Amino acid sequence: MTQPKFFEGVFPAITTPFHQDGSVDHAFLRDHARWMMREGSRGIVPLGSLGEGNTLEESEKIAILETLVDALGDAPVIPGIGSLSTQGAVRLARAARDVGCQGLMVLPPYVYTSDWREMKAHMAAVISATELPVILYNNPIAYRTDFLPAHILELAGDHPNVRAVKESSADVRRATALAAALPAHVELMVGVDDLLLEGVLAGATGWIAGLVNAYPAESVRLFDLARAGRLAEATELYRWFLPLLRLDTGIKFVQLIKQVQEETGHGSAQVRAPRLSLAPEEIGEVRQIVQQAAARQPALV
């Protein structure tokens, strides 16, 4: 019997809000997550690339997870599990389970990358550290480790709790290959905002989204139209959304998306070093994109 699709739908890769002094703003985090859930999101994915997970201390990560689990009740909190070491990632995975998270998104190790033998050993240790369902996160652009379809199939075959793949290689051919090869219990999730429609057409059933932090209703509507095969409506909304979605694809995507949040009244542009706030000319470019989008805001029916 086919298992239910646990990771189907829109899952915001939630940004981490900071106070001016650099500490985590837990009150805003709580409210922001609840708002995105009310707009139709299926769960929340903290501590990933957009969540600036690699700048957070382990104690801060656990505190963030405690806040989100408490705020969202039964809604899934699926944290990114990343660390400099395998030991650290295993420890964080178990801490996430213990505070009530319902799944994990497992990243390759920060900084160090090598051959498949070493990367497989790292991923296997983290995946098997708990019984929670796991999303494998493939982002070779950010982490310099590329999990090829054969690697993903190997991990899925060895570990029954591997239930999804967040594919962020930005290669739609990779998504097509994975959709054709993955076993029925492993879902394909889009991990790059400006490939959402192409990813769903290739067979993706979930979206770990970035601009959802400012536009949750539009993100959910776009995903639902695409999944329903209503391509004319989905394409119209997608074309409106694309200038914003493309902000998810550059080196400064965290700063850009947080700036969009500030421009739309849904967060602060505050980031944590080594990231710096955008330069004035960059802020002006983001503001222009947001204003142009507002002038052509589609009706969501």
Residues with Cβ < 8 Å from 109, sequence gap 6 or more?
Answer: 82, 83, 84, 85, 86, 89, 122, 145
Q: Among 61, 143, 166, 215, which one carries the catalytic annotation?
A: 166
Q: Among 5, 61, 112, 137, which one carries the catalytic annotation?
A: 137
Q: What is the DSSP letter of 248?
A: G
Task: Determine the Cα angle at 200 with ends 82 and 266, to 5°.
Answer: 60
Q: How many CA atoms lie within 13 A of 156 on its CB side?
A: 22
206 SS3 class: strand
110 catalytic? Reply is no
Q: What single-letter amino acid sits at 210?
A: G
279 SS3 class: coil
C-alpha dist (Å) from residue 223 to 63, 65, 155, 197, 230: 31, 26, 28, 8, 10
Query: Would strands 134-138 and 162-167 be described as parallel, antiparallel, or unpaired?
Result: parallel
CB burial readout 158-167, b (16+ within 10 A) else e: ebeebbbbbb
Cα–Cα distance, 70 to 64 (Å, whole number)? 10
Q: Could you tell me the two tokens for 43?
A: 């769960």
Of 111, 42, 99, nearest to 75 by C-alpha is 42
283 marked among binding-site residues: no
Rounded to 5 degrees, φ, ψ at 106 are: -95, 125
H/E stretch holding 26 reads helix 26-38
Q: Which residue stretches of 100-208 are H helix?
A: 116-127, 140-143, 149-158, 172-181, 196-202
Strand order in the sheet with 162-167: 9-12, 206-209, 187-190, 162-167, 134-138, 104-106, 80-81
137 catalytic? Reply is yes
Residue stretches of the annotated binding site:
208
Residue stretches of the annotated binding site for pyruvate:
208
Residues annotated catalytic, as ranges: 137, 166
